Amino acid sequence: MTTRSVIPGLAKGMWITLKTLFKRVPTVQYPLEKEIPVPRARGVIALDVEACTVCMLCARECPDWCIYIEGHKEEQPPSKPGGRPRTRATLDRFDIDYALCMYCGICVEVCPFDALFWSPEFEYSEYGISEMLHDKERLTDWLATVPDPPSLES
């Protein structure tokens, strides 16, 4: 025990705890006050039904196979009289099972028609695992929470 090295060490330790004592505590009391996540946080995936063409790319690329898509084709009247009737793909079912989802964001990346978006909302925990399956309507509701895209760089 060399006294020469002990005293400065003790003083240094005391100084650190004293400094910490007067620092602002970064704790957020979560249920009372809500932390605002960063805009690009991967909270939940929102769906724009109008933009979806039922191409199934997201469901196929999903590593967890947590996206379930069903659709059918509807006959549209020809745009000109005497023309060929058009078909249009309509979405019947679009479910994301958040119990399986690993928030990789590949579906959002891969969507060719910008129908999927990240939203920073995170408060959708449930009591049952089956309730983690969000259907088309629920996913559309999340669309309102999607932040505006960042401005383009000039």
Partner 1 sequence: MIVVFGIGFWAGLALKIGIMAAIVPVVALPIIFAELKLSAHMQHRIGPYFAGGKFGWAQPLADGLKFFQKEDLVPDSADKVVYKIAPYLVLAAALAVFVVIPFGPDLIGRDLDLGIFFALAISSVSTIGILIAGWSSGNKYSLIGGLRAAAQLIAYELPLFLAVVGVVIQAETMSMIGIIDAQQTYEVFGLFAIPYIIPQFVGFVIFFIAALAELSRTPFDMPIAESELVMGYLTEYSGFRFAVFFIGEYIGIFTMSAIMATLWMGGYDPLFFDLASLSDVAANVIGPLVLFGKVAILVFLMIWMRWTFPRFREDQLQDLAWKWLIPIGLMNIAVTAIFKVVL
Yes or no: say if 36 and 72 are a contact pair by the CB < 8 Å rule: no
d(CA 73, CA 90): 6
Least gap, CB of 20 to partner 1 (angstroms): 5
d(CA 22, CA 17): 9
3-state SS, residue 2:
coil
Least gap, CB of 1 to partner 1 (angstroms): 7
- Show the site string, 114-133: x = touches partner 1 by CB under 8 A, - = not: --------------------
HSE, side-chain direction, 13 A CA sphere, residue 75:
5
Which stretch in 23-31, 40-48, 94-102, 106-114 sits in contact with partner 1 by CB under 8 A?
23-31
| Site for partner 1 contains 1 (CB under 8 A) | yes
Sites of contact with partner 1 (CB under 8 A): 1, 10, 13-14, 16-18, 20-23, 25-27, 29
